[in-house]
Amino acid sequence: MVNFSQDTLATPFHRGELDIQERLGMREKVHSYAPGFIRDHLPDQHREFYAQLPQLIVGSVDEQGRPWASMLVGRPGFISSPDSKTMSVSGQPLYGDPLADNLKDNAPLGFLGIEFQRRRRNRMNGKISKIRDDGFEIAADQSFGNCPQYIQARGFQITDAVNAPETPRPLERNSTLSHAARTAIESADTFFIASMFSEDQSDNRHGVDVSHRGGKPGFVRVVDERTLLFPDFAGNFHFNTLGNIALYPKAGLLFPDFETGDLLYITGAAEIIWEGEEVQAFEGAERLVRINVDEVVRVEESLPLRWDFQGYAPDLERTGSWQEVAETIEINHNRNNWRRFSVVRIENESETISSFYLASEDGKALASYKPGQYLPIRLDIPGEDASLNRTYTLSQAPNGKIYRLSIKREAKGLASQRFHDQMKPGSILEAMAPRGKFTLQEKSPRPIVLLSGGVGITPMIAMLEHVLLEDARTGSPRSVYFIHGAQNGREHAFGRHVRKLARECASLTAHIRYSKPQKSDQEGIDFDSTGHIDMELLKSILPLDDYDFYLCGPSPFMQALYEGLATLGVGENRIHYESFGPAMVLKPSAQTNKRQRAEHPAQGPVPVCFAKSGIEIEWWPEKGTLLDLAEGAGLTPAFSCRNGVCGTCATKVKCGAVDYLDDPIAPHGDDEALICCSTPRSAQGEETCGEDFGVILDL
């Protein structure tokens, strides 16, 4: 394999593009195909493609070194290619186009041929080899095709104005964005961006580039009269534009009005925003790009083409909007506030598990979450004085529009019975923002193994869907092994869904094991093997490799697999787990706020006193956490997560000490305990309350 860091001549990319490819872990992938994909000439297919276009997008640079994006227009055939190294353009820049001043001998230009109707596009970079009275010729440096992503389909009509492109039109030239310019930008679903970098004029990797950007109308945000902000979605991973900006932070933008023919030219400084809450909140955005305006040219009815809109690009379904970004950020800043949600749909996943789809009652965006996290909810139960608080895992990949809870009916579960027996479309419940520590390690390059039992499948479905969506979006599949255990087909949820995904995705291997299959369950169709998930099964499915393991299921299932993986030498940092029901710990925890988990936690009984309520009760391990103990005694402490994440249950410890079942991450005082994930330390010793109680809580 070529070492591109040492042999820069082995790659068609300059150092700015290479640095970003390396930063995002795409360098090897891109170089597996790019050297043969990016050519120093025009293939015949590209030559034919350009010849049938009515427009050509051009990137150029003025005498001040500022990039501009432009559009040349003519009847099909105005672009030709006499040979594979040359492109010929017969036509002149439109009135007011900065390109007119930038066409000079040997000037670098970037070109984009785009066919809106069929969502096709090709790129070429080169230098002017000849200027003629009726146009110019370009010597090709680089030529390559582009993906069809984010192109809105449009058909075109040529107007008679094509015969006189230089006819004067109303023109505005400003250093700020006028009202008309702002309106044009805020309604645009398409623009073109020019950028450049040139350290060595003789190197064909350097020069000018121009590319297409598409999104939902309004995807470019006008921050103020001098500033624009837009999301950068996943593309072909060449990072031509971003690589140029990283080294030469200037750009030119062209906004065409496809209905009126108005053209808006902008040039200014460019900045890549890699991180921040706006990046996180904008669905589909990999990063943002900020443009600080230097000059604006607006020409009315300049374009001698009219387009009829035929449809948005399918890719836009996975992208957000600035309104949703603002709503999401506001909601994320108030994650502990209760919001009202309505049930919009209910689907049966098995005889015991149903999915409940929730939408915000106010119609605003949802708080963001990561696959594997859970949703704290609050239910009003008729006949009960207090609301019922529970947490349920979100069982689908985040989409910014809806939450899905897949809930198993439990014989003694007041909340689950409420869902199954009383909930219907239109029912209302309250929820906080999602939270939880059981999430995917998305930056890890290792293959993923999702291991679940019973209703523990719910976070795994969210993780699986998310990984496969990311694979489709980025074009970089990550191997996933989905291994699930259920009693039989009656209990098995999402079976058909997982089978369908496995058929469609080469990167996914699915194995279903039933412990007690019924006669109606068909091996090879409904399930793959009989028994319980154990290490022998894992050894038979998983090739020799280094994996990230994710576990969720009943306690015996979790403990057996954790111990088995540890025996094989799998490190703690490779085993991630979540349990349902009472919290459990499969590994030693670090010390936390002087209340570390004991080497040998108390086995009970430990006398506990809830001071405010005057309740005295014995704690045993089977009674769970101190929160479980309090609820069993008839108390209703405030809580939201049961995992030490939100801090809602923080309670003052008047005497004694506690141990944590897992390291809590929520802030709390030195004299407080998070009772949702802690147990009393001991019934005897210095850290108790004498002979009467192991711990006294101000509850």
Tell me, what CATH number does 159's domain have? 2.30.110.10
pLDDT for the residue 595: 34
pLDDT at 333: 87
Contact, 116 vs 153, CB < 8 A? yes
Whole-prediction pTM: 0.77
Q: What is residue 98's predicted lDDT score, i.e. its pLDDT?
A: 97
**Angle between the 15-23 and 240-247 helix axes, to the nearest 10 degrees?**
110
Contact criterion met (CB below 8 Å) for 641 and 390: no
Residues making up the chain, counted from first to last = 699
- Under the banding of pLDDT at 50, 70 and 90, the label for residue 581 is very low
Contact 605/611 with Cβ under 8 angstroms? no
Of 529, 562, 579, the domain-final residue: 579
| Total number of domains constituting the chain | 4
Q: Which of 218, 255, 187, 270 is nearest to 16 (CA)?
A: 270
* 345 shares a domain with 232: no
Among residues 486, 494, 481, 488, the alpha carbon closest in space to that of 451 is found at: 481
- Averaged pLDDT of the chain: 89
Q: Looking at the structure, do residues 549 and 675 belong to the same domain, yes or no?
A: no
Q: Tell me: do 236 and 307 sit in the same domain.
A: yes
- Distance of alpha carbon 208 from alpha carbon 194, whole angstroms: 7
- The answer to whether residue 436 scores a pLDDT higher than 60 is yes
Q: What is the pLDDT of residues 497-551, one digit of tens each?
A: 999 999 999 999 999 999 999 999 999 999 999 999 999 999 999 998 899 999 9
Q: What is the DSSP string of 46-99?
A: HHHHHHT-SEEEEEEE-TTS-EEEEEEE-STTSEEEEETTEEEEE--PPTT-TH
Domain of residue 396, CATH code: 2.40.30.10
pLDDT band at residue 594 using 50, 70 and 90 as cut-offs: very low
Same domain for 366 and 314, yes or no, is: no
Task: Tell whether 195 and 301 lie within a shared domain.
Answer: yes
Whether 218 and 132 map to the same domain: the answer is: yes
Residue 442 lies in a domain: no
- Which of 246-250, 425-429, 518-522, 643-647 comes out lowest in average pLDDT? 643-647
Q: How far does Cα 12 stand from its chain's mean position?
A: 29
**The domain spanning residue 549 has which CATH number?**
3.40.50.80
**689: its two tokens:** 């309350």
495-504 and 457-474 helices, crossing angle to 10°:
20
Residues 408 and 533 in one domain: no
Tokens of 386: 């207090």
* Longest Cα separation, the chain: 103
- 114 and 24: one domain? yes
Q: Which residue type sits at 82?
A: P
Residue 691 belongs to a domain: yes
Q: What percent of the chain has pLDDT over 70?
A: 92
Q: Determine the average pLDDT of the residues in 419-432.
A: 94
Does residue 296 have a pLDDT over 70? yes
Structure tokens at 624: 């769970």
pLDDT at 90 over 50: yes
Among 268, 288, 318, the domain-final residue is 318
Tell me the CATH number at 625.
3.10.20.30
Helix (H, G, I), strand (E, B) or coil at 114: strand
What is the mean predicted confidence (pLDDT) over 5-14? 63
Mean pLDDT over 609-626 rounds to 90
The pLDDT assigned to 383 comes to 72
Whether residues 425 and 456 fall in one domain? no
- The reply to whether 569 and 692 lie within a common domain is no
Q: Which of 431, 456, 485 is the last residue of a domain?
A: 431
* Whether residue 557 has pLDDT greater than 80: yes
190, part of any domain: yes
Q: Do 260 and 395 belong to one domain? A: no
Domain-embedded: residue 327:
no
Which residues are CB-neighbours of 526 under 8 A, at least 6 positions away? Answer: 489, 492, 495, 512, 514, 517
pLDDT of amino acid 168? 95
Torsion over CA of 181, 183, 189 and 193, rounded to 10 degrees?
20
Q: What is the pLDDT of residues 346-389, one digit of tens each?
A: 999 999 999 999 999 999 989 989 999 999 998 887 777 777 88
Q: What is the pLDDT of residues 131-145, one digit of tens each?
A: 999 999 999 999 988
The position carrying tokens 């989905």 is 482
Strands (E), 185-338: 190-197, 207-214, 221-224, 227-233, 250-256, 263-273, 285-299, 305-311
Higher per-residue pLDDT: 202 or 414: 414
Domain membership flag for residue 388: yes
Q: Domain for residue 294, yes or no?
A: yes
CA distance linking residue 696 with residue 593, whole number of Å: 18
Is residue 404 scored above 50 in pLDDT?
yes
Let me know whether 290 and 238 are in one domain: yes
Strand 480-486, strand 448-453: pairing: parallel
**Taking 60 as the threshold, does the pLDDT of residue 589 lie above it?**
no
298 within domain boundaries = yes
Considering the domain boundaries, does residue 592 fall inside one?
no
Domain that holds residue 525: 448-579
60 pLDDT exceeds 80? yes
30: Cβ–Cβ under 8 A, 6 or more apart, which residues? 13, 21, 237, 238
pLDDT reading at 2 higher than 70: no
- pLDDT at 582 exceeding the cut of 90: no
Strands 548-553 and 575-579: parallel
